[in-house]
């Protein structure tokens, strides 16, 4: 086994680290307080080749492997989870999904614009009454001449207010689909969000974390979508959604890895400098125990995340590996963030130090792209297998 990063992977790690530490980290607190990510960062990510990531070069991409992409997400997560979240939705949930499921016309029309950052994408699956149970969505797509009429609403749509293109999931209303199971009726549509019949507003209230992320409540009312905008085919939407979430879970897992690393960095720096009872607190065994646990779980998370990315790069089935990485990395980072706040004492409970932001941000990563509970279900089913009935 060779754990050495190759030259290309090291290159993308350096590019992402330089951008994250020099451009994102200095304004991370400001973005958290204002609740807004400057769109200039999107332009810079596009210019660096980060947005196109795994796409072919002829479509504006960088043709990087999934491990390089995980390294990028790790570095962005280390600096700011909101920026990492933006890119994961835009690049993994939207662009990789279109690249995999889209027709040649759809791929050549939308992917270059998304890779350049001239258009931003979002992924519209979650509804007021449909979260983990994706098959229970109530948004409807009624077939008409030349296309479909969408009616329904979506919530917590990351990038939803700033995006111009959405992948929207709806259930088909047509005689030939009435007898089918709920998930077999779901279809994915590419919807320009400036279309007539689309209303968007920011989600109300201030979030616990990811405060610089854009989250929208989107309502579709008599919104016409042409037949050419179906993604993957009628009734294939559930498969489209699950494959996209698998891409997104790698981004979340790698982002959690970045938060975990940031917690360790901040904690080590603090316990070296902070003195109590005549010595630095890093010399106390209880503090050393916390640091050791943080480091050990970080190494374990990194191996799991990198294994999931490597599995994807080999073209092997990676559902189990990705869910294991997402589950373990987010849980480990949650504990690391909690311990980091505790090690910082009263300072950790204020925004004087960054660990309180890490503590708030990491909770979202337990939820995004399938909660920790959902990951356990996915993992267990992969291990146990499906029951065969005679």
Give per-residue pLDDT as tens, 300-348.
999 999 999 999 999 999 999 999 999 999 999 999 999 999 999 999 9
Q: What is the pLDDT of residue 388?
A: 62
Does residue 293 carry a catalytic annotation?
no
Burial tier of 2 (Cβ tally within 10 Å: 0-12, 13-18, 19+): exposed
Q: How many angstroms separate the Cα of 100 from the Cα of each of 16, 143, 164, 241, 294?
A: 25, 25, 20, 12, 37
Q: How many angstroms separate the Cα of 379 from the Cα of each of 178, 198, 319, 321, 324?
A: 32, 37, 8, 8, 7
Which has the closest alpha carbon to 61: 83, 85, 91, 88? 91
Q: Which CATH class is domain 7-120?
A: mainly alpha
- Of the candidates 285, 352, 369, 387, the residue annotated as catalytic is 369
> With a cut of 50, which residues of the chain have pLDDT below it?
none
Q: Is the pTM of this model over 0.85?
A: yes
Q: Report the distance separating Cα 56 and Cα 253, nearest Å.
A: 24
Q: What is the pLDDT of residue 206?
A: 85
Q: What is the pLDDT of residue 176?
A: 82
Which has the closest alpha carbon to 199: 169, 158, 154? 154
- Break the chain into its structural domains and give their ranges: 7-120, 123-238, 244-384
**CATH number, span 123-238:** 2.40.110.10
Q: What is the pLDDT of residue 386?
A: 74
**CATH number, span 244-384:** 1.20.140.10
Tokens 């005679």 label which residue? Answer: 390
Q: What is the pLDDT of residue 389?
A: 58
> Taking the mean position of all CA atoms in its chain, how far away is CA 156?
13
Core vs surface per residue 156-170: b (16+ CB within 10 A) or e: bbbbbbbbbbbbbbb
Q: Report the distance separating Cα 31 and Cα 15, nearest Å.
A: 22
Q: Is residue 223 within a helix (H) or strand (E), and if so which, with residue range?
A: strand 215-226
């Amino acid at each position: 086994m060779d754990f050495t990063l190759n030259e290309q992977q090291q290159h993308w790690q350096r590019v992402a680290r330089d951008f994250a530490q020099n451009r994102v980290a200095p304004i991370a607190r400001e973005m958290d307080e204002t609740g807004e990510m400057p769109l200039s960062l999107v332009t810079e990510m596009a210019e660096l080749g980060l947005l196109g990531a795994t796409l072919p070069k002829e479509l504006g991409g960088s043709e990087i492997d999934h491990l390089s992409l995980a390294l990028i997400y790790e570095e962005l997560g280390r600096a700011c989870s909101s920026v990492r979240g933006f890119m994961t939705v835009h690049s993994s949930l939207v662009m990789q999904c279109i690249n995999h499921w889209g027709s040649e016309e759809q791929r050549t029309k939308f992917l270059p614009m998304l890779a350049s950052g001239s258009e931003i994408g979002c992924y519209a699956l979650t509804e007021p009454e449909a979260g983990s149970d994706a098959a229970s969505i109530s948004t409807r797509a009624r077939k008409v001449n030349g296309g479909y009429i969408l009616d329904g609403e979506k919530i917590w749509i990351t990038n939803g207010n700033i995006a111009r293109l959405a992948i929207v999931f709806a259930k088909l209303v047509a005689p030939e689909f009435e007898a089918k199971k709920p998930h077999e009726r779901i279809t994915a549509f590419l919807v320009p969000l400036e279309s007539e019949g689309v209303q968007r507003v920011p989600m109300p209230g201030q979030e616990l974390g990811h405060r610089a992320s854009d989250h929208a409540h989107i309502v579709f009312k008599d919104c016409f979508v042409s037949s050419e905008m179906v993604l993957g085919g009628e009734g294939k939407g559930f498969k489209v959604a699950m494959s996209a979430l698998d891409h997104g879970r790698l981004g979340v897992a790698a982002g959690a890895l970045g938060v975990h690393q940031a917690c360790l960095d901040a904690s080590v720096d603090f316990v070296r400098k902070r003195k109590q009872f005549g010595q630095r607190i890093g010399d106390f065994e209880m503090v050393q125990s916390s640091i050791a646990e943080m480091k050990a779980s970080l190494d374990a998370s990194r191996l799991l995340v990198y294994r999931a990315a490597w599995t994807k790069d080999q073209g092997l089935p990676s559902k189990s590996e990705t869910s294991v990485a997402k589950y373990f990395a987010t849980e480990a980072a949650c504990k690391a963030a909690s311990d980091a706040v505790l090690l910082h004492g009263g300072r950790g409970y204020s925004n004087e130090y960054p660990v309180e932001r890490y503590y708030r941000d990491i909770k979202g990563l337990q939820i995004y792209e399938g909660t920790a509970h959902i990951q356990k279900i996915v993992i267990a089913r992969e291990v146990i297998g499906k029951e065969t009935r005679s």
